[in-house]
């Protein structure tokens, strides 16, 4: 029971305590200790009727006690005033509805542009996801000590630069929302290929953001995109090998996630605002979940996405769609015009087109280049299989 409440309410409790205490680190320590106390007390006495209010009140009182012991209360003017009020939180009959939901302010604090992107990601996972420092370190392949220092530096910068615990001004909101969405999508992509738990956490954060930003189509678009991509997890890697979209078994898709993703996409479209990059990508992913994919429509959507973003990676994906729509020669021309450097999916995509066109030697060279750039074992196995198939073709010629 306490684990479920922790996962569901950690961010809300932490946000409420930051709002009360005005100090990220103090609030985090107080929230952690409040949950420890809850685990002990609730196991004996049962879960209270208002668990969030209980946790916030307990955390607040623990923070006040700590500051008293450290004899620094006078320096904390805001806390001193709160402690001296005639009516304290202990005197109020609190229920969970009286505890405001300040998680949106917390998200914007964690993703403030003054913080480095790696710090934004780590803080978001810690503050909103409730992941431990060790869990975040493992997710990003760094030691617990390294991640602890990273989080500590970020919290120090929040305090030193007075990063506000507040919603951005209206004129700043579009850029700030885009930054939050980018952080959550980065978390999802980090977990997409191998870390299903991290991808699941990104989806949970995406649901939270969509619930908080009910008039923002891109929030629903991102949620839809992540759900639709994650629905293919079991079909994308089979027997330790990547399976291309065209060869995937649709019966292995998670239909509940497909349905949820399409429902989120419908909500984004229902707002009748111009489709942003996440909404367009979600629309593409929705089409690709069909048994028979309308590749001509996919090409149109990629053209809109490329015009919106100017991304060469989007241009690469558009070229793939052009090939699937029946014109691999034109697709290869589009790919050869791209400047993507060592982007690891460029040679493998080019190799697939060369293979289809019967240009075996060129395809083999491109697959070998792709193999040298591969970063995961399933990708390597897929590329090795393609090279083996090309070897068989050469032997039969």
The answer, yes or no, to whether residue 154 has pLDDT greater than 50, is yes
DSSP string, 276-336: -HHHHHHHHHHHHTSSS--HHHHHHHHHHHHHHH--HHHHHHHHHHHHHTT-HHHHHHHHH
Residue 24, pLDDT above cutoff 60: yes
Cα 246 to Cα 242: distance, rounded to the nearest angstrom: 12
* pLDDT tens-digit map of 246-282: 889 999 999 999 999 999 999 999 998 889 999 999 9
Q: Which of 18-32, 45-59, 216-230 has the highest mean pLDDT?
A: 216-230
Taking 80 as the threshold, does the pLDDT of residue 85 lie above it? no
Tell me the mean pLDDT in the region 49-71: 88
Whether residue 78 lies inside any domain: the answer is yes
| Confidence at residue 186, expressed as pLDDT on a 0 to 100 scale | 87
pLDDT band of residue 394 (cuts 50, 70, 90) is low
**Under a CB-based contact definition with an 8 Å cutoff, are residues 388 and 362 in contact?**
no
pLDDT at 66 over 50: yes
Q: Does a structural domain hold residue 80?
A: yes
CA atoms within 13 A on the CB side of 337: 9
CA distances from 40 to 21, 36, 37, 355 (A): 24, 7, 5, 63
The answer on pLDDT for 189 being more than 90 is: no
pLDDT of residue 180: 92
Find the domain containing 74 and state its range: 2-92
Residue 8 lies in a domain: yes
Q: How many domains does the chain have?
A: 1
Predicted local confidence at residue 76, as pLDDT: 55
Which of 257, 308, 309, 310 has the alpha carbon at shortest distance from 286? Answer: 257
Kindly tell me if the per-residue pLDDT of 1 is higher than 80: no
Mean pLDDT of 45-55: 90
**DSSP secondary-structure letter at 214?**
T
82 neighbors 88 (Cβ within 8 angstroms): yes
pLDDT level of residue 317 (50, 70, 90 thresholds):
very high
> Hunting for tokens 């998670």 — which residue is that?
254
* Residue 60 in tokens: 């607040």
Rounded to the nearest 10 degrees, the angle between the axes of helix 345-356 and helix 312-324 is: 20
- What pLDDT score was predicted for residue 139? 76
Average pLDDT over residues 308-327: 95
Instruction: Specify if 137 maps to a domain.
Output: no
Two tokens at 206?
């995406």
Taking residues 178-201, report their average pLDDT. Answer: 83
Return the closest-CA partner of residue 321 out of 331, 336, 307: 331
Own/partner long-range contacts of 332-335 (Cβ < 8 Å, ≥24 apart): 332/357
CB 338 within 8 A of CB 316: yes
In a domain, 174, yes or no: no
Average pLDDT, the chain: 88
Tokens of 103: 């998680």
The pLDDT score that the predictor gives to residue 78 is 55
pLDDT given at position 137: 87
**Which H/E stretch holds residue 242?**
strand 241-242
What percent of the chain clears pLDDT 70, i.e. is strictly above it? 90
Task: Give pLDDT, residue 187.
Answer: 87
Q: How far is CA 59 from CA 37, 52, 79, in A?
A: 9, 10, 13
Task: Assess if residue 14 is contained within a domain.
Answer: yes
Q: Is residue 67 one of the residues assigned to a domain?
A: yes
| Of 244, 249, 276, the residue nearest 356 (C-alpha) | 244
- 55 in any annotated domain: yes
pLDDT at 349 exceeding the cut of 50: yes
């Amino acid at each position: 029971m306490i684990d479920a409440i922790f996962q569901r309410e950690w961010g809300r409790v932490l946000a409420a305590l930051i709002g009360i205490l005005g100090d990220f680190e103090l609030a985090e320590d107080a929230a952690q200790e409040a949950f420890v106390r809850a685990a002990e007390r609730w196991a004996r006495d049962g879960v209270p009727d208002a668990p969030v209010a209980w946790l916030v009140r307990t955390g607040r009182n623990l923070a006040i006690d700590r500051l008293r012991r450290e004899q620094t209360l006078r320096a904390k003017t805001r806390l001193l005033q709160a402690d001296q009020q005639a009516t304290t939180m202990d005197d109020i009959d609190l229920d969970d509805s009286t505890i405001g939901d300040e998680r949106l302010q917390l998200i914007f604090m964690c993703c403030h542009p003054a913080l480095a992107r790696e710090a934004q990601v780590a803080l978001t996972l810690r503050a909103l996801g409730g992941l431990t420092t060790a869990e975040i370190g493992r997710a990003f392949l760094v030691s617990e000590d390294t991640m602890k220092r990273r989080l500590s530096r970020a919290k120090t910068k929040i305090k030193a630069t007075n990063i506000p615990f507040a919603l951005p001004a209206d004129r700043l909101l579009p850029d700030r929302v885009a930054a939050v969405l980018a952080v959550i999508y980065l978390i999802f992509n980090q977990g997409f290929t191998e870390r299903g738990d991290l991808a699941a956490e990104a989806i949970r954060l995406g649901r939270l953001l969509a619930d908080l930003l009910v008039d923002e189509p891109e929030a629903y678009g991102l949620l839809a995109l992540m759900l639709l991509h994650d629905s293919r997890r079991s079909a994308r890697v089979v027997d330790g090998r990547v399976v291309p979209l065209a060869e995937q078994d649709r019966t292995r898709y998670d239909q509940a996630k497909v349905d949820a993703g399409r429902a989120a996409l419908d909500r984004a479209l229902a707002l009748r605002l111009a489709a942003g990059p996440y909404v367009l990508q979600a629309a593409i992913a929705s089409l690709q979940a069909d048994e028979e994919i309308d590749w001509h429509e996919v090409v149109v959507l990629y053209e809109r996405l490329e015009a919106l973003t100017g991304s060469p990676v989007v241009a690469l994906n558009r070229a793939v769609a052009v090939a699937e729509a029946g014109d691999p020669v034109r697709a290869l021309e589009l790919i050869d015009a791209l400047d993507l450097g060592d982007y690891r999916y460029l040679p493998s995509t080019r190799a697939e087109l060369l293979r289809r066109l019967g240009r075996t030697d060129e395809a083999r060279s491109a697959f070998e280049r792709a193999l040298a750039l591969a970063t995961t074992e399933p990708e390597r196995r897929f590329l090795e299989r393609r090279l083996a198939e090309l070897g068989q073709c050469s032997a039969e010629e």
